[in-house]
Structure 1
C-alpha cells in the first residue's frame, strides 16, 4: 500500500481493467482479451476463495481465445492502474451456437482445495514454515506459484495424514482459524519480463497495513452512498461459553478443548460448540481454536458494509489493499441509525468491485 495523499474530492478515476488469458502452469500471457466482459462483481476475501463470471464476445476475440480460456489450463488476470489486481483459474466454460462464451473463474485460493496435504508432521515448528510446507504441496504442481512466508515466531504442532483426505486449503483455513494463527492470501504480480504473471502466496501474522490513522477514508457525504453495521448475537456469532471438538465419538473418544468462558459480566449463558477440523486430536490445538472463538464472540459480532462510488473513493491497489485498515466517516446528523455520526477504523478483510456499476464495497471488521 502506498502513502500517497487522498485524491481531490472531484477527481474521477474509473477502473479500466485490461484482461489477459494466461497459461495457468507458467503464468505466461497467451492473449489479451479486450472483449471479455465481467458479469457482476470481482470479489476477494482474506484466506478464502471467490468466483466471478464472464462473457467472451467471439467476433472481437483473438484467434487463440480457445487456448486463453481453456478449462483447467488457463487463468485470467485483470490489470488496472498498471498492476494486476485479480486472478482466477478457469474450471468451467460453456460454448456453442451463441456468439459468446460463458466462463467462470475462481481465485487461486480455490486451486488449493484441489490439492491434498499428504502425510506431514511438525512438532514445535514455526507456523509460517508449516504454512509454507502446505503451500509447497501446491507449488510442486503449479510452477508460477511463489511462497513468501517469513518466520512469525509462533511455534505449533501439526500432523496431517494422507488418509484424512485433507486439502491444502482446509489445512490452511484451520491454521489461520486458531488463536493468533497466521493469515494468508495469493496475489497476482507481474513476472520479471512482464510477459506474464507470478502468483505470490503470502503468509503473515496479519496481512496488510494496520495503521491507526489510515489515509484511505470513505466518507458520507462523499463517495459512500450507503452503509450498514450488522450487529449479531446469533448462534455462531455470539457466545459466552465455548467448546471446540475434534476427532472421535462420545465423551470418552472425542478430543475436546477446555471450556472457555467469557470474561464479560452480566450476560446470560450462550453456549457454542464447534469442530474446527474432524482430524484434530490435540487438546492444545483445540484450546487455541476455542480461545480465539471466545475472544471474537463474547460481545457478539459487528461487521460493517458500505457501497461507494468506486471512481471517487480511495483507489483499491494504490491507496488501500486487502487486509489494510481503512476509515469510515459519517457526518453527525445525516444517518438515522447513527445520529451521532460514525468514525470507525476497521480492517478490509474483503472487497467487492463492480466496474460497470462504478461501485466498490470493502468488507470491514473492527479489531480484525
Structure 2
C-alpha cells in the first residue's frame, strides 16, 4: 500500500486541482540538491464504474500547466511538472514529469556583469530573476547574502540556461548551494508553495543528528527513536569518472586557445606510491578566467582523489526518521548499521544530498555525501 498522497496542482498558483488516489509511479521518485530529476506515472481513467477517474483529471494533469505533488506524512515532499500526457484506446493514461528545478532549464540568462558581488543575494538571485520575474511558475526566491563576493559575466547570446548557470555557480569551490523547497501556502493546505532557496549550505549540519537510520540490531552508538528497519550496501569505486588524482578543468576552444586550469594534484597519494590517474572535464562552455577553472579543478580533485565510497541505505518511509518531517535534502543524518560486511557495526553521520522514494514499496533511500565528495558530483 502506498504511503503517499498524490495531488494534481496548478503549476503557477500551487492550488490543488484534484486528488489522484489511483496514480501510480513507474518506479521511484527522487530529489537531488541543485539538480532536477524525472519520473513517469500511470493514471487509470475508466469512463465509469468502480475506480472511475477523478472528475477534474484533465485539468490536474495538463502538460506544461500542472504539477504532480507527493505528500508524505502531511508534508509536500516532491513536485513534478507534467510534460507529456499520453492515452488513447486503453483506460490508462501515462504521464512524464520533471521536478521543478527542470523549469530553470527552460529559461535563459540575460546580460549581466557582476564585479565583487555577493554570490547568493546578488548573483544567484539575479540569475533566478531571469526565470521568475516575468511569466514564471510562481517561484519565490530566498537568497540572503553569504558574504562571499565573486565576479561573473553572462551574455544573453551565450544561450546559457538559468539552471546551467546556477549549477556552474554551485560547482565552483565553496559555491552557494540551492534547492527548491515545498510547503503549504497557509494552514488550509489547499495550495503548495514553491521556494528557490540559496545558502552557503542547504540543510542542517550536526554531529549528533536526531534522524538516525538503523538496521534494528546495531550497537546503538547513536540514539534512535523507532526503527527504520534499514538495509544497506557499501561500495568502493576507483573506476573512470569515480577516481582520479590528477585533474584538469577545461572550457571552450581548441589547441592553445582553449582555456584550461593548472593540474590539481593529490600529492600525498603520489608520495605514498600511487600511479597517476588523470581526469579532464569541462564544468562550463564559457569560462575564460583560469582562476575559475583552477577552482573547479580543485573541487573535482576533492571528489575524485580517494575514489567513491558509496553507502546506500533503504528504510521504511512511514517510520522514523520520516522524510520531510525529521530530515530533508542537505541535512546531516545518522546511521547505525550491522551487516556481514560490518559485523561490529557501521555507525556515523553523513549528509543527505538527495533521496529516492518508492511509494509502492513504502521505502525511502537517502542519497548520502561521503567525506571528500562534493554536492555537484
Unaligned runs of 5+ in 2: 47-51, 218-226
Tell me which moved more, 180-189 or 254-263: 254-263
Given candidates 131, 136, 142, the residue that maps to 1:138 is 131
Report the CA distance shift for 1:238/1:187 in structure 2 as closer, same or farther (over 3 A): same
**Could you give the per-residue CA deviations for residues 245-267 of structure 1, whole angstroms, max 9, x where no partner exists?**
112211x2111112222142312
TM-score between both structures, scaled by the size of structure 2: 0.88
Instruction: Quote how far apart the aligned CAs of 1:38 are.
Output: 2.6
Q: 1:271 aligns with which of 278, 281, 296?
A: 278
Structure 2 residue corresponding to 1:293, chosen from 300, 305, 312: 300
The reply to whether residue 154 of structure 1 matches residue 148 of structure 2 is yes
Instruction: Write the distance in 2 (CA, Å) between the matches of 1:143 and 1:244.
Output: 34
Instruction: Indicate if the aligned counterparts of 2:72 and 2:323 stay in contact, CA closer than 8 A.
Output: no
Structure 1 unaligned runs (5+)?
1-13
> Can you list the C-alpha shifts for 1:98-130, whole angstroms capped at 9, x where unaligned?
112111111101111111112222111111021
The residue matched to 1:346 in structure 2 has which SS? strand
Q: Is the 8 A contact 2:317 2:363 kept in 1?
A: yes
Q: 4, 16, 23: which is aligned to 2:10?
A: 23
Measured after TM superposition, the shift of residue 313 of structure 1 is 4.2
What are the superposed Cα offsets for residues 73-95 of structure 1, whole Å, 9 maximum, x if unpaired?
Answer: 11111222222111111000112
Asked whether 1:337 is paired with 2:332, we answer: no
Partner of 1:357: 361
For the residues of structure 1 that align with 2:185 and 2:108, how far apart are their CA atoms? 27
Is the partner of 2:117 in helix, strand or coil? Answer: strand
Is 2:183 the partner of 1:179?
no
Contact 1:302-1:365 at 8 Å conserved across structures? no
2:73 is equivalent to residue 81 of structure 1: yes
1:81/1:313 Cα in 2 relative to 1: closer, same or farther (>3 Å)? closer
- Give the Å deviation of 1:225: 4.5
- For 1:263 and 1:326, locate their aligned partners in 2 and report how far apart those are by CA, in whole Å: 32
Relative to structure 1, the CA distance from residue 313 to residue 194 in structure 2 (aligned partners, 3 Å threshold; closer, same or farther) is closer
CA contact (8 A) 1:243 1:272 kept: yes
One of 223, 235, 244 as aligned partner of 2:240: 235
The number of aligned residues is: 351
Task: Determine the structure 2 residue equivalent to 1:8.
Answer: none
The separation in 2 between residues aligned to 1:225 and 1:215, in whole angstroms, is 16
> 1-side partners of 2:228 and 2:288: how far apart?
49
Instruction: For residue 319 of structure 1, report the CA deviation from its aligned partner.
Output: 1.0
Deviation at 1:15, TM superposition (A): 6.4
Deviations 1:153-188 (A, max 9, x none): 111111222222111111111111110111111122
Deviates more, 1:344-353 or 1:233-242: 233-242
Q: Do 2:248 and 2:261's aligned partners in 1 also have CA atoms closer than 8 Å?
A: yes
User: What's the counterpart of residue 220 of structure 2?
Assistant: none
**Cα pair distance change 1:235/1:314, threshold 3 Å:** same
Once residues 67 and 294 of structure 1 are traced to their aligned partners in structure 2, the CA distance between those partners, rounded to angstroms, is 48
* Shift >6 Å, 4+ stretches: none
Partner in structure 2 of residue 302 of structure 1: 309
**Is the CA contact (8 Å cut-off) linking 2:3 and 2:360 kept in structure 1?**
no
C-alpha deviations, 1:274-300, integer Å up to 9, x for none?
Answer: 110111111121111011112222222
Preserved contact between residue 312 and residue 367 of structure 2 (Cα < 8 Å): yes
- Given the alignment of the two structures, is residue 42 of structure 1 paired with residue 46 of structure 2, yes or no? no
Name the residue aligned to 1:126: 118
Aligned to 1:339, what secondary structure does the other structure show? strand
Q: What is the distance in 2 between the residues matched to 1:322 and 1:311?
A: 17
Q: Deviations over 1:315-366 (max 9, x none)?
A: 11111111111112124xxx23223321121111111111221211111112
188-197 or 124-133, larger mean C-alpha shift: 188-197
Matches within 5 A, 1:320-335: 320-331=327-338, 335=339
Distance 1:358 1:196 in 2: 25
Q: How far is the alpha carbon of 1:242 from its aligned partner?
A: 1.4
Which residue of structure 2 aligns with residue 5 of structure 1? Answer: none
Contact 1:35 1:58 in 2 (8 A): no
- Show the 5 A alignment for 1:210-249: 210-220=205-215, 221=217, 223-249=228-254
